[in-house]
Chain A
Amino acid sequence: GENVEQHPSTLSVQEGDSAVIKCTYSDSASNYFPWYKQELGKGPQLIIDIRSNVGEKKDQRIAVTLNKTAKHFSLHITETQPEDSAVYFCAAPSYNNNDMRFGAGTRLTVKP
Protein backbone atom coordinates (compact mmCIF):
# COMPACT_ATOMS: atom_id res chain seq x y z
CA GLY A 1 0.00 0.00 0.00
CA GLU A 2 0.93 3.64 -0.14
CA ASN A 3 3.37 4.86 2.49
CA VAL A 4 3.37 8.55 3.29
CA GLU A 5 6.18 9.90 5.42
CA GLN A 6 6.04 13.42 6.80
CA HIS A 7 8.81 15.55 8.32
CA PRO A 8 9.40 17.21 10.68
CA SER A 9 7.05 16.02 13.41
CA THR A 10 7.33 19.37 15.18
CA LEU A 11 8.34 22.76 13.87
CA SER A 12 8.70 26.01 15.77
CA VAL A 13 9.23 29.31 13.94
CA GLN A 14 9.20 32.98 14.78
CA GLU A 15 6.30 35.05 13.55
CA GLY A 16 7.06 36.34 10.08
CA ASP A 17 9.44 33.52 9.21
CA SER A 18 8.70 30.79 6.66
CA ALA A 19 7.78 27.19 7.46
CA VAL A 20 8.32 24.17 5.22
CA ILE A 21 6.89 20.70 5.75
CA LYS A 22 7.86 17.83 3.49
CA CYS A 23 6.19 14.54 2.59
CA THR A 24 7.36 11.58 0.57
CA TYR A 25 5.18 8.92 -0.99
CA SER A 26 5.91 5.47 -2.39
CA ASP A 27 3.43 4.89 -5.26
CA SER A 28 4.66 6.57 -8.43
CA ALA A 29 1.11 6.37 -9.85
CA SER A 30 -0.24 8.72 -7.16
CA ASN A 31 -1.65 11.87 -8.72
CA TYR A 32 -3.36 13.91 -6.01
CA PHE A 33 -1.71 15.48 -2.95
CA PRO A 34 -3.73 17.49 -0.42
CA TRP A 35 -2.64 19.29 2.72
CA TYR A 36 -4.88 19.61 5.76
CA LYS A 37 -4.72 21.88 8.79
CA GLN A 38 -6.11 20.66 12.10
CA GLU A 39 -6.73 23.16 14.86
CA LEU A 40 -7.32 22.16 18.46
CA GLY A 41 -10.68 20.49 18.95
CA LYS A 42 -11.50 20.55 15.25
CA GLY A 43 -11.35 18.18 12.32
CA PRO A 44 -8.72 18.49 9.58
CA GLN A 45 -9.56 21.15 6.99
CA LEU A 46 -8.21 21.18 3.45
CA ILE A 47 -5.95 24.19 2.87
CA ILE A 48 -4.39 23.44 -0.49
CA ASP A 49 -4.00 20.53 -2.88
CA ILE A 50 -2.06 19.76 -6.05
CA ARG A 51 -2.51 17.30 -8.88
CA SER A 52 0.38 15.66 -10.63
CA ASN A 53 0.07 17.65 -13.85
CA VAL A 54 1.55 20.75 -12.18
CA GLY A 55 4.70 21.34 -10.16
CA GLU A 56 3.57 24.19 -7.94
CA LYS A 57 0.41 25.84 -6.69
CA LYS A 58 0.04 28.99 -4.61
CA ASP A 59 -2.77 30.47 -2.58
CA GLN A 60 -1.77 33.70 -0.84
CA ARG A 61 0.76 32.78 1.86
CA ILE A 62 0.68 29.04 1.28
CA ALA A 63 2.13 27.04 -1.58
CA VAL A 64 2.64 23.40 -2.41
CA THR A 65 5.44 22.05 -4.62
CA LEU A 66 5.55 18.60 -6.17
CA ASN A 67 8.58 16.66 -7.38
CA LYS A 68 7.23 13.56 -9.10
CA THR A 69 10.66 12.18 -9.91
CA ALA A 70 11.74 12.23 -6.29
CA LYS A 71 8.20 11.42 -5.11
CA HIS A 72 7.95 14.21 -2.60
CA PHE A 73 5.80 17.26 -2.09
CA SER A 74 6.13 20.16 0.31
CA LEU A 75 3.97 22.74 2.01
CA HIS A 76 5.40 26.25 2.23
CA ILE A 77 3.93 28.89 4.52
CA THR A 78 5.41 32.38 4.24
CA GLU A 79 5.08 35.30 6.67
CA THR A 80 3.80 32.98 9.36
CA GLN A 81 1.31 34.25 11.91
CA PRO A 82 0.35 32.86 15.35
CA GLU A 83 -2.97 31.65 13.89
CA ASP A 84 -0.99 29.34 11.59
CA SER A 85 -0.15 27.28 14.69
CA ALA A 86 -1.83 23.89 14.21
CA VAL A 87 -1.14 20.31 13.17
CA TYR A 88 -0.64 19.90 9.41
CA PHE A 89 -1.20 16.65 7.53
CA CYS A 90 -0.20 15.64 4.04
CA ALA A 91 -1.97 12.82 2.22
CA ALA A 92 -1.67 10.71 -0.91
CA PRO A 93 -4.00 8.19 -2.55
CA SER A 94 -3.88 4.57 -1.50
CA TYR A 95 -2.74 2.00 -4.06
CA ASN A 96 -6.30 1.46 -5.36
CA ASN A 97 -7.25 5.17 -5.21
CA ASN A 98 -10.19 4.31 -2.95
CA ASP A 99 -9.01 6.39 -0.04
CA MET A 100 -6.26 8.71 1.14
CA ARG A 101 -3.34 7.79 3.37
CA PHE A 102 -2.24 10.50 5.76
CA GLY A 103 1.20 11.44 6.99
CA ALA A 104 1.87 11.38 10.73
CA GLY A 105 1.35 15.14 11.07
CA THR A 106 3.53 18.16 11.86
CA ARG A 107 2.81 20.33 14.86
CA LEU A 108 3.65 23.89 13.82
CA THR A 109 4.10 26.53 16.50
CA VAL A 110 4.46 30.16 15.47
CA LYS A 111 5.89 32.27 18.27
CA PRO A 112 4.78 35.90 18.42
Chain B
Amino acid sequence: DTAVSQTPKYLVTQMGNDKSIKCEQNLGHDTMYWYKQDSKKFLKIMFSYNNKELIINETVPNRFSPKSPDKAHLNLHINSLELGDSAVYFCASSRTLGNQPQHFGDGTRLSIL
Protein backbone atom coordinates (compact mmCIF):
# COMPACT_ATOMS: atom_id res chain seq x y z
CA ASP B 1 0.00 0.00 0.00
CA THR B 2 1.27 3.44 -0.94
CA ALA B 3 1.96 5.47 2.20
CA VAL B 4 1.84 8.95 0.64
CA SER B 5 0.07 9.24 -2.68
CA GLN B 6 -0.38 12.33 -4.78
CA THR B 7 -2.30 12.92 -7.98
CA PRO B 8 -1.87 13.65 -10.74
CA LYS B 9 1.68 12.49 -11.48
CA TYR B 10 1.92 14.84 -14.45
CA LEU B 11 0.10 18.11 -15.01
CA VAL B 12 0.49 20.14 -18.20
CA THR B 13 -1.48 23.33 -18.45
CA GLN B 14 -1.42 26.86 -19.79
CA MET B 15 -0.39 30.05 -18.10
CA GLY B 16 -3.21 31.72 -16.21
CA ASN B 17 -5.11 28.53 -15.43
CA ASP B 18 -6.05 27.30 -11.96
CA LYS B 19 -5.11 23.77 -10.92
CA SER B 20 -5.08 21.49 -7.89
CA ILE B 21 -2.85 18.68 -6.72
CA LYS B 22 -4.16 16.15 -4.23
CA CYS B 23 -2.27 14.33 -1.51
CA GLU B 24 -3.31 11.58 0.85
CA GLN B 25 -1.38 9.68 3.52
CA ASN B 26 -2.47 6.44 5.16
CA LEU B 27 0.18 6.44 7.88
CA GLY B 28 -1.91 8.11 10.54
CA HIS B 29 0.54 11.01 10.68
CA ASP B 30 -0.36 14.33 12.23
CA THR B 31 1.76 16.56 9.97
CA MET B 32 1.81 16.99 6.21
CA TYR B 33 3.98 19.16 3.96
CA TRP B 34 4.28 20.51 0.44
CA TYR B 35 7.69 21.01 -1.17
CA LYS B 36 8.73 22.50 -4.49
CA GLN B 37 11.71 20.97 -6.32
CA ASP B 38 13.18 23.06 -9.10
CA SER B 39 15.15 21.95 -12.13
CA LYS B 40 18.37 21.96 -10.10
CA LYS B 41 16.82 19.51 -7.62
CA PHE B 42 16.70 22.03 -4.80
CA LEU B 43 13.94 21.10 -2.31
CA LYS B 44 12.12 24.04 -0.77
CA ILE B 45 9.44 23.78 1.90
CA MET B 46 6.23 25.58 0.97
CA PHE B 47 3.72 24.65 3.66
CA SER B 48 3.19 22.32 6.54
CA TYR B 49 -0.03 21.38 8.29
CA ASN B 50 -0.24 19.96 11.80
CA ASN B 51 -3.65 18.73 12.92
CA LYS B 52 -5.28 20.83 10.21
CA GLU B 53 -3.51 24.02 11.25
CA LEU B 54 -1.09 25.83 8.98
CA ILE B 55 2.20 25.94 10.81
CA ILE B 56 4.55 27.59 8.38
CA ASN B 57 4.10 29.51 5.22
CA GLU B 58 7.36 30.37 3.53
CA THR B 59 7.72 33.20 1.05
CA VAL B 60 5.25 31.55 -1.28
CA PRO B 61 2.93 33.67 -3.43
CA ASN B 62 -0.64 33.75 -2.21
CA ARG B 63 -1.65 32.17 -5.51
CA PHE B 64 -0.74 28.95 -3.73
CA SER B 65 -3.16 27.79 -1.07
CA PRO B 66 -3.10 24.52 0.87
CA LYS B 67 -6.40 22.95 1.85
CA SER B 68 -6.74 20.16 4.39
CA PRO B 69 -10.22 18.58 4.62
CA ASP B 70 -8.94 16.14 7.26
CA LYS B 71 -5.71 14.92 8.84
CA ALA B 72 -5.01 12.44 6.05
CA HIS B 73 -5.29 14.92 3.16
CA LEU B 74 -3.45 18.08 2.17
CA ASN B 75 -4.31 19.44 -1.25
CA LEU B 76 -2.51 22.25 -3.05
CA HIS B 77 -4.47 24.79 -5.08
CA ILE B 78 -2.66 27.09 -7.47
CA ASN B 79 -4.35 30.08 -9.10
CA SER B 80 -3.24 32.05 -12.15
CA LEU B 81 -0.37 29.73 -13.00
CA GLU B 82 2.88 31.33 -14.17
CA LEU B 83 5.81 29.96 -16.15
CA GLY B 84 7.97 30.00 -13.03
CA ASP B 85 5.61 27.58 -11.31
CA SER B 86 6.93 24.77 -13.48
CA ALA B 87 8.57 22.31 -11.09
CA VAL B 88 8.01 19.01 -9.32
CA TYR B 89 5.81 19.33 -6.24
CA PHE B 90 6.18 16.80 -3.44
CA CYS B 91 3.81 16.02 -0.65
CA ALA B 92 5.21 14.52 2.55
CA SER B 93 4.06 13.54 6.01
CA SER B 94 5.59 12.92 9.42
CA ARG B 95 4.29 11.42 12.65
CA THR B 96 4.41 14.74 14.43
CA LEU B 97 5.76 18.23 13.91
CA GLY B 98 9.47 18.65 14.46
CA ASN B 99 12.45 16.35 14.24
CA GLN B 100 10.83 13.35 12.62
CA PRO B 101 11.45 11.27 9.50
CA GLN B 102 9.38 12.46 6.60
CA HIS B 103 7.66 10.19 4.09
CA PHE B 104 7.41 11.60 0.58
CA GLY B 105 5.04 10.97 -2.29
CA ASP B 106 6.43 10.42 -5.77
CA GLY B 107 5.80 13.97 -6.90
CA THR B 108 3.66 15.87 -9.40
CA ARG B 109 5.51 17.30 -12.36
CA LEU B 110 3.82 20.58 -13.28
CA SER B 111 4.61 22.05 -16.68
CA ILE B 112 3.29 25.44 -17.70
CA LEU B 113 3.03 26.14 -21.41
Contact = CB atoms under 8 A, between A and B. Distances in A.
Interface of A: 31-32, 34, 36, 38, 41-46, 49, 51, 87, 89, 93, 97-102, 104-105, 107
Overall SS of chain A's interface: strand
Given A44-B90, A46-B101, A98-B55, 15 more contacts: A31-B99, A41-B106, A42-B106, A42-B107, A43-B90, A43-B104, A45-B104, A51-B99, A89-B43, A97-B98, A98-B56, A98-B98, A100-B99, A102-B42, A102-B43
A38 B45 CA distance: 16
B41 A105 contact: yes
B97 A98 contact: yes
Contacts, number: 59
Nearest to B92: A43
B79 interface: no
A93 B99 contact: yes
Nearest to B45: A99
A101 B45 CA distance: 8
Nearest to B101: A46
Interface centre among B4, B55, B100 (most CB of A within 10 A): B100
6 contacts: A34-B102, A46-B101, A99-B56, A100-B45, A101-B45, A102-B42
A93 B104 contact: no
Nearest to B99: A32
Contacts of B103: 46
Contacts of B4: 43
A98 B44 CA distance: 14
A104 B41 contact: yes
Interface in B12-56: 33, 40-45, 48, 55-56
Interface string B2-15: 00100000000000
